[in-house]
Amino acid sequence: MSIADGRFELSERGFKGLGSGVRGSSFANSANLEMRACPQVRERESREEKRYFPKVSNIEQTRAAENAAIGVYVSKNGRLGWAVATRGAKMEIPMKNHKDPSDLKSFPPLGAAVKVLMIWPRFPSSFWSMDGILDLVPIKTDQPPLGLLTVAALCPKNWTLRLIDRSFEALLDADILWADLVMVSGMRVQKDDIRETLLRARALGKRTMVGGPLASSEPELMLPLADHVVVGEPDEVFPEIAADLERGSAKPLYDIKEKPDISKTPLPRFDLLKIDKYASMAVQFSRGCPFQCEFCDIITIYGRKPRTKSPRQLLAEFDALYELGWRDQVLIVDDNFIGNHKLALEMVRKLEEWQVSHHYPMLLYTEASIDLAQKPELIKAMVRANFFYVFIGIESPSPQAQMEAKKFQNLRRDPLESVRFIQSEGLWVTAGFIVGFDSDTEDIFDQQIDFIERAAIPWAMAGFLQAPPTTPLFDRMRKEGRLIMDTTATSNFDPPNFITRLPLPVLLEGYRRMLVALYSPGAFFDRCYRSLLHWQARKPQEPPEIPFMIALGIVFRSILHQGILSSYRRAYWKFLLRLVARWSLHPCRFSMGFAMLISGHHFIHYARNLAVQLDAQLHKSRFQRRSPELIYEPSARSSDFITE
């Protein structure tokens, strides 16, 4: 790596960052959501991108040969240095004569009428990308980049803003050349496209700014790539940042320590969206979480004291979406919607009044901790406000794993009883599960399968434990010498970024077996059916209305791709016929059941593809270790998914 003209540049050796973060939501809270790029968009962009990234594979090969990672770190006192990792060991070399990142370079003023191109990077295919569903419904992606929309609202009124969502829009040279400032936000899982976007803008001579979860947790990754890096929540200080950009005093690094009062955060710029391209809209009520889960970076980025918007603010966001013609699903993106359950109850009651006055135009869903089961009054209010379902971080049926992770809220009541209670009170449940805790034994995979089946949770997001930077787990793994510094992990579906107590082949094979068991077509659709039996939907819950011709098109494509052409058509027809026979006259359950039906086109294929990747990783692990006791003997093959 080299410094050219006082600014970090990539050398021929390339750049590979240290550590691995997987969650969070910053640069005004981008939700932890994933989506895929349309093949047509990739085809349009490919020729232009190749000009800027012709040697990526060579860089990676060189980096692998040298077995070293080189990056930039920022110390606690603000000093910069080179960070070098070789075979798991980390060495930090302070840079001389750079006490503050602002000393690195001064930038020319952008003037008062700044043209800003906001770019939301693409996600790789993943559990939540819903690739298969996007083949069946007339939308392009899942949720919008709420973080960038919030930052857009913080920009001066005299700035001209454009937004490109790379999940379905092509990014052309003309778009970049139009801008005075290219602004990017994203999460760890988006890091590859963040890097490509920033380097491409720099190659075209444009100023760049990056923020978001990745920049907030690992600024050392972004400092060599962007002119300005924003760490933390910029709600209260962005006017100062904007003024610095206009007058030419902008800093390379803005490290924001204070947590803003989000009751003063302006209305997101929903008007920048191509709103008809999305399956769901997103709003935010709170930031932060009161708990202390060891692996979670939400509390380290946003703090343990939840901060909330006022009911009036949130209703203004619903009004804005309504005026734009939105009549569909809305995700409340809070990492824990009930972090302050008293204020959440107050807000939900106001939201119920809004829904009644507008004739229930929107279906709501959110994420909450499992102690929601201990708040029946709040659940009832959520149901009356037309919440349909909730994502819960159950993580593990093992009490030892919950204790290890300091997830004490999950130990107050039997988790299966909690799920049953929430379902019976009117909220359908989806949940996250994790393997790879130190306390996990070889039977943890069977425990997870058994719990998920008994709880009847169709959309069970099962993944590996990761240690994101800034978390207590990351610090513990580093102190114990177990952190893998040269990992390529970007999400919970990659192998852990630390040395686990369970041998890696055992962990990979067990996880692979979980996927086969949970997402074989028969097991998946049977769990869907049983989830509807447990879910006691009730008035006034009401699904959004879908125009007849659009609904007819979805049904036709589903029957064609799933009921005729797919390898799992037998399980498909069995579930569809049971759904029609039992709930065709019950709009809530039939709507939710049909959503699960078409979701199978994503989850079955995604699990199958991930199982193939795990096969490759297992063989690679066996080859690298060359140890007889670690030889991989799979108990199930990817062909187990083919048919039932």
Mean pLDDT of 448-477: 97
Mean pLDDT of 177-194: 96
Q: Is the pLDDT of residue 16 over 80?
A: no
Same domain, 8 and 150: yes
pLDDT in tens, 585-609: 999 999 999 999 999 999 999 999 9
pLDDT in tens, 405-427: 999 999 999 999 999 999 999 99
Residue 64 domain-assigned (yes or no): yes
pLDDT in tens, 37-54: 454 555 555 555 444 444
Confidence of residue 290 (pLDDT cuts 50, 70, 90): very high
pLDDT, residue 600, reads: 97
Same domain, 241 and 358: no
Tokens 């009847």, located at residue: 456
Sheet with 160-165: strands ordered across: 160-165, 115-120, 181-185, 207-211, 228-231, 253-255
Domain boundary among 387, 409, 435: 435
Q: What is the CATH number of the domain that holds 284?
A: 3.20.20.70
Q: Is the pLDDT of residue 99 over 80?
A: no
pLDDT, residue 564, reads: 98
Same domain, 238 and 320: no
Same domain, 298 and 418: yes
Same domain, 386 and 346: yes
Same domain, 194 and 54: yes
Tokens of 519: 């997402």
pLDDT, residue 467, reads: 96
> Residue 258 in contact with residue 280, Cβ under 8 Å?
no
pTM of the entire predicted model: 0.84
Mean residue pLDDT across the chain: 85
DSSP 3-state of 280 = strand
Q: Is the pLDDT of residue 24 over 60?
A: no
Same domain, 104 and 19: yes
Residue 618 domain-assigned (yes or no): no
Note the residue count of the chain: 644
Domain boundary among 393, 408, 435: 435
Domain boundary among 419, 435, 451: 435
pLDDT, residue 490, reads: 79
Residue 486 domain-assigned (yes or no): no
Phi, psi of 260 (to 5 degrees): -75, 160
pLDDT in tens, 55-94: 333 333 333 333 344 455 555 444 455 454 444 445 454 5
pLDDT in tens, 218-236: 999 999 999 999 999 999 9
Mean pLDDT of 341-350: 98
| CA pair distance 427, 381, nearest whole angstrom | 11
Sheet with 387-395: strands ordered across: 280-283, 329-332, 363-368, 387-395, 428-435, 460-464
Same domain, 363 and 303: yes
Mean pLDDT of 478-505: 91
Tokens of 30: 């981008």
| CA pair distance 20, 452, nearest whole angstrom | 28
DSSP string over 303-370: -SS-EE--HHHHHHHHHHHHHTT--SEEEE--SSTTTTHHHHHHHHHHHHHHHHHTTS--EEEEEE-G
Residue 533 domain-assigned (yes or no): no
Mean pLDDT of 201-217: 96
Same domain, 80 and 225: yes
417: containing domain: 279-435
Residue 132 domain-assigned (yes or no): yes
Same domain, 322 and 355: yes
Please list the residues that pair with 334 across neighbouring strands: none
| CA pair distance 7, 59, nearest whole angstrom | 21
pLDDT in tens, 521-546: 999 999 999 999 999 999 999 999 99
pLDDT, residue 106, reads: 78
pLDDT, residue 5, reads: 30
Residue 509 domain-assigned (yes or no): no
| CA pair distance 180, 160, nearest whole angstrom | 10
In the chain, how long is the greatest CA-to-CA distance? 75
Residue 642 domain-assigned (yes or no): no
Residue 135 domain-assigned (yes or no): yes
pLDDT in tens, 114-173: 999 999 999 988 888 888 898 899 999 999 999 999 999 999 999 999 999 999 999 999
Tally the domains of the chain. 2
Same domain, 220 and 319: no
Same domain, 192 and 321: no
